[in-house]
Amino acid sequence: MREVRVFAPATVANVAVGFDILGFAINRPGDEIVARLNPAFSGVRITAITGTGDKVLPLDTEKNTAGVSAQRLLHHLGQPETGVELEIHKKMPFGSGLGSSAASAAGAAVAVNELLGAPLTREALLYFTVLGEEVADGSFHADNVAPCLVGGITLIRSNDSLDVHHLPVPNGLHVAVVHPEIEILTRDARAVLSDQVPLSVAIRQTGSLASFITALYTNDISLLGRSLHDHMIEPQRKQLITGFDDVKAAALQRGALGCSISGAGPSIFALCDSGYLAQAVGQGMQAAFQQHGVESQLYVSPINQRGVEILSVTD
């Protein structure tokens, strides 16, 4: 049976200034997805899920992000009767704000597409990955799945039409991501947000977003640091993360360009102008969490420019 194995990386969404419209990929952690053809049945079946600890993920195709992504892709390609079995090997924490569900959805789409001879481009696969991600949080948005799928820093001009664009990555840009042993579900993190934004806040946030994008195009690290201020979402969500203010202060004191919540949290990211500094910043963030009795994991990475990687193809 033909088999494809892929690695789908974690992602940082929102990036402080771009709620639901900005995201970037990192090297680790991530999920491994295995897809293989099986003529014994038709459609998609999930045969194994590992790495979930005490969490239970559904094997039901229509309730699993990877299953939905793969199934919708098969139907689009006119091959609903093709038998595909999926294995999902979770290698990243749940409810972490690192795009766990998006990684499974994107990985499944790439694996199944490759299994069938790669008829679609990565960009064309985006729609099916967003459908899969929607199962997890009930929202149609691409700020995690887009960078996971294609890598780099992505801007989603419109989630409805999936008008997605690559942004340039400044030289030497690295990130420290600290994941505390706290779980926040995306649905819960969205529930604390107000649907009313004061005009003054909207103006400051818009200015920060515009200058952030300008900094990327001009390779202006100083402007990038001045732009990384979330005036809208962070003030509402930070109370969900024990010790957030102290962790952010530790990152900035050690020289981070900026620091904020990764996606819905509780992971916190800090952008830095070198890998060496990112390591030092991350360790300072961990120490701040420890002062609040919270253990954490540190991931240091450049911006991942590859997205989902095909690890092996076996015929």
Write the DSSP assignment of 43-69 as a string of letters: EEEEEEEES-TT-----SGGGSHHHHH
Instruction: Tell me whether residue 102 is annotated as binding.
Output: yes
pLDDT for the residue numbered 95: 83
Q: What is the pLDDT along the chain (315 residues), one digit of tens a residue?
A: 899 999 999 999 999 999 999 999 999 999 999 999 999 999 999 999 999 887 888 999 999 999 999 999 999 999 999 999 999 999 988 889 999 999 999 999 999 999 999 999 999 999 999 999 998 878 888 999 999 999 999 999 999 999 999 999 999 999 999 999 988 777 778 888 998 999 999 999 999 999 999 999 999 999 999 999 999 999 999 999 999 999 999 999 999 999 999 999 999 999 999 999 999 999 999 999 999 999 999 999 999 999 999 999 999
Instruction: Tell me whether residue 23 is annotated as binding.
Output: no
pLDDT for the residue numbered 189: 81
Domain with CATH 3.30.230.10 in the chain: 3-167+304-314
pLDDT for the residue numbered 290: 98
Q: Is 134 a catalytic residue?
A: no
Q: At the topology level of CATH, where does 3-167+304-314 sit?
A: Ribosomal Protein S5; domain 2 (3.30.230)
CA dist 133 and 116 (Å) reads 22
Residues near 133 by Cβ (< 8 Å), separated by ≥ 6? 65, 69, 101, 102, 105, 141, 142, 144, 145
Q: At the topology level of CATH, where does 174-302 sit?
A: Alpha-Beta Plaits (3.30.70)
Domain with CATH 3.30.70.890 in the chain: 174-302
pLDDT for the residue numbered 279: 98
The residue annotated as part of the active site, out of 32, 114, 186, 234, is 186
Q: 83 in helix, strand or coil?
A: strand
The residue annotated as part of the active site, out of 133, 134, 154, 234, is 133
Q: Is 183 a catalytic residue?
A: no
* pTM reported for the whole predicted model: 0.95
